[in-house]
Amino acid sequence: MTETNNRKLLQGNQATALGALAAGCRFFAGYPITPSTEIAETMALELPKVGGRFIQMEDEIASISAIIGASVAGAKSMTATSGPGFSLMQEGLGYAYMAEVPCVTVNVMRGGPSTGLPTKVAQADVMQAKWGTHGDYFPIVLCPSSVKDCFDITVKAFNLAEKYRNPVIVLSDEVIGHMREIVVLPDPSTLQLIERKKPNVPPEWYKHFQITADFTSPMASFGQGYRFHLTGLTHDERGFPTSNSETIAAKLDKLKLKIERHVDDIVECRQYQCEDANIVLFAYGSVARAARQAVIESRKKRLRVGLFQPVTLWPFPEEQLRRMTQKAKLVIVAELNQGQMIGDVRRVCKDKIRVIGLNRYDGELITPEQILNLIKEDH
Amino acid sequence: MKKSDSNDRYEIRLSGSGGQGLVLAGVMLAEAVGVYEGKNVAQTQSYGPEARGGSSRSDITISTGEIYYPKTSKLDLLLCLTQDSCDKYYHNLKEDGVLIIDSDIVRQPPPLKTVYALPFTHISKERLGTSIVTNVVSTAASVVISGVCGRESFLKAVLGRVPKGTEQKNEAACKLGFELGQKALKGEL
């Protein structure tokens, strides 16, 4: 029973914090809010032990600003919040997209709008994660559905942030964040970690926003002798504000193409028994757990039901969804909101496949029975 | 471990009011079953925004197979430490489910087949001088009545989770709970 020794009962939020630490996160700034607070608590306990810094800021605007600053100074950095705090962070996130600052923001979703339901689950910030701040920008948004996922996906979030010099959002939810499960965590030394590209040119040649073949520029840290200018204003390769239309378009293309050209690398999906499915369930986060159970129950009744579970919500996994719905006549989009991801599912399925929503927004998780009943009604 | 589906799924709810320590008790029980007995377990909770008062519950789903849906749907075991929680949750029990209540507080038990009414609060005060450990006493009794894990596993989990300096009191609370559970099974209480 040596395995028993490595078995740990962990909460999703704890696993998120441990994943961040394993990924090399050494700076956390945040403001406590249910249901994300355990992430801050764990970081406050653990960061000092590895030479990192934890700071509780006066609010969420200050928190996102602090992690941007820490990242520009060279540290992998993270903040964690829930809906109301995520709203406040949108301004800072916009700056991070524009200034191409790698950082990780965890939003453990609860009911909204406004202060909504502090202790109850929802998935209603999915569109906010994509469109929350103004302008054209391309978020990477990942969504865990188990305690183990919280660890793995946070590691992945840091890797993608570093690789693409982009903010990455981890959209957890109250059920996943507060749930405890048995996990066996990997030895941190076995993890594949990605570090941001560093400049290999002399400081006087350095351009902080150089347009490269893969559209991601090498990033020097403040204080290393490489001089650069950072601003939220649209800027040239050196970081200085510009009103030159060619330079403006080139900057916005860069923001788009560094993500769009690497969608295959960024997008992760899971599918269960979709190959022959004429009914495909589309579900993510905690709802994917209910949907997986519903697939098992349906198969016992010889119904050809499958589950498509996006781990990457944005960029939207278009190709993968298209492939997994080839035999489908019906797609059921089950989500804890009044219908958010369903718009993109409809866009991909066009008129060829019927798409219906199963929506719950009363603070409770969708049950397998609800999904099974909907399948039965439709048959 | 058998990687079958969830036929051996066992669902427990510990319920009462906020501040009674039932979420913590649920964590201890989950740890006993999951860490010390090697089963799969998912522990979830539901509580209001207030620190004390309001209803509070901790749910534990246990299986030797994979647990997909992590919440409970039909309870095998329900522990209620308040009348409110009993009124609210008894209909979530399976037909052959087991209800355990604090007989000092739940004065109007529902008409179910298997009800164990035990004087948790009263006897904790009498034997241990405090009702603060009622969560541990009642959960320990539930462990014995349900047989969901071994006593040693539960005791280990409790001692691993309680604040330093309270180990002795909590160990006594566990043993008191085991004793109550044993007596209840024998029909002596």
In tens, the pLDDT along A133-191 reads 999 999 999 999 999 999 999 999 999 999 999 999 999 999 999 999 999 999 989 99
- Separation of alpha carbons B13 and A339, rounded Å: 31
Q: Which residues of B touch A4 (CB under 8 A)?
A: 35-36, 38
Phi-psi region of B187 (alpha: psi -120 to 50; beta: other; left: phi over 0): left
For the segment A86-110, the average pLDDT, to the nearest whole number, is: 98
Residue B53: its pLDDT value, please? 73
Q: What is the largest CA-CA distance in chain B?
A: 46
Q: What does chain A come to in residues?
A: 379
User: Which residues in chain A (330-369) have CB-CB distances under 8 A to chain B?
Assistant: 365, 367-369
Give chain B's domain count: 1
- Separation of alpha carbons B67 and A286, rounded Å: 12
- Separation of alpha carbons B105 and B113, rounded Å: 20
Does residue B53 form part of some domain? yes
Query: What band does A339 get if pLDDT is binned at 50, 70 and 90?
Result: very high
Chain position carrying tokens 């997909």? B68
In tens, the pLDDT along A242-271 reads 999 999 999 999 999 999 999 999 999 999
Query: What band does B18 get if pLDDT is binned at 50, 70 and 90?
Result: confident
Q: How many CB atoms lie within 10 A of CB A254?
A: 18
Q: How many CB atoms lie within 10 A of CB A37?
A: 18
In tens, the pLDDT along A20-68 reads 999 999 999 999 999 999 999 999 999 999 999 999 999 999 999 999 9
Contact of B91 with chain A, judged by CB distance below 8 Å, is answered with no
First-to-last alpha carbon distance for chain A, in angstroms, is: 47
CATH number at residue B34: 3.40.920.10
- Separation of alpha carbons A185 and A15, rounded Å: 9
Work out the mean pLDDT of chain A and round it to a whole number: 97
Domain boundaries, chain A: 2-189, 200-261, 269-378
Minimal Cβ distance to B45: which of A8, A178, A365: A178
- Separation of alpha carbons B24 and B20, rounded Å: 9
Query: What band does B50 get if pLDDT is binned at 50, 70 and 90?
Result: low
CB–CB contact B70 A286 (8 Å)? yes
CB–CB contact A9 B27 (8 Å)? yes
Contact of A182 with chain B, judged by CB distance below 8 Å, is answered with yes
How far is the alpha carbon of B48 from chain A, nearest alpha carbon, in Å?
Answer: 6
- Separation of alpha carbons A170 and A25, rounded Å: 14
For the segment A102-113, the average pLDDT, to the nearest whole number, is: 98
Quote the domain boundaries for residue B38: 6-186
Residue B7: its pLDDT value, please? 65
Residue A231: its pLDDT value, please? 98
How far is the alpha carbon of B19 from chain A, nearest alpha carbon, in Å?
Answer: 15
CB–CB contact B35 A292 (8 Å)? no
Does residue B1 form part of some domain? no
Q: Which CATH number fits domain A269-378: 3.60.21.10, 3.40.190.170, 3.40.50.920, 3.40.50.300?
A: 3.40.50.920
Residue A5: its pLDDT value, please? 63
Residue B4: its pLDDT value, please? 42
Q: Which CATH number fits domain A2-189: 3.30.450.20, 3.30.360.10, 3.40.50.970, 3.40.50.670?
A: 3.40.50.970
Does residue B33 form part of some domain? yes
Q: Which residues of B touch A290 (CB under 8 A)?
A: 68-69
Tell me what ipTM this predicted complex has: 0.92
- Say whether A269-378 and A2-189 share the same fold: yes
Triad A190, A194, A198: Cα angle to 5° = 140
